[in-house]
Amino acid sequence: MSLIAMFCLSTALLFTGCNTEPDPVDTAFIPAGEWADSFGGSYTITNTGVTFDDGFGYGDFTGTISGVSDFSANSGVLIIKITSSTVGYTVDKFTGVYYKDYTASHVFLANAIDESYAPIEKNTFDEAKNTFTVDNVGTHVTYWGTGYNK
């Protein structure tokens, strides 16, 4: 192969990323920051993880972000794999954290819960990806509250 052909091939691979699909965590929006509500609840969200405390002692978790889906109007869902929890969540299961109306200083955040207010958890990422969708926001979020401020 000529030197010019090798240069063209390596340049093409560099710019196309070898035609691999991007990881959704790398391409979707994440509402990163330290967020608190007026009731003592809080989320710390980074590009790779989430720490949640409901402020009342009924639910907390730390987890890694396994996937992100963007919806419209500055909203979406973070799919979290639980890595630790003292109450309410199961380690190594997946849950969803929905967000809407994001601005630089305010966002509405809500964990996926069922009609009895229990966390919705899934055993696999594929199950979580099929469950935590824009179509299920209305059944997974019963109350958005006043939102969270940075």
Give the distance between the most distant pair of CA atoms in the chain: 68
Decide if 134 contacts 98 (C-beta within 8 A). no
pTM score, whole prediction? 0.81
Decide if 85 contacts 94 (C-beta within 8 A). no
Tokens of 129: 């990806």
Q: What is the Cα–Cα distance from 80 to 92, expressed in whole angstroms?
A: 10
Q: For residue 11, what pLDDT is reported?
A: 39
Element (H, E) at 10: helix 3-16
- Among 99, 105, 116, smallest CA distance to 149 is for 105
Where are the domains positioned within the chain? 24-149
Residue 142 has pLDDT above 60, yes or no: yes
Q: What is the Cα–Cα distance from 43 to 15, expressed in whole angstroms?
A: 36
Q: What is the Cα–Cα distance from 98 to 18, expressed in whole angstroms?
A: 33
Tokens of 17: 């990323």
pLDDT tens for residues 26-63? 468 999 999 999 999 999 999 999 999 999 998 999 99
Q: For residue 148, what pLDDT is reported?
A: 97
127-137 average pLDDT score? 96
pLDDT tens for residues 57-116? 989 999 999 999 999 889 999 999 999 999 999 999 999 999 999 999 999 999 999 999
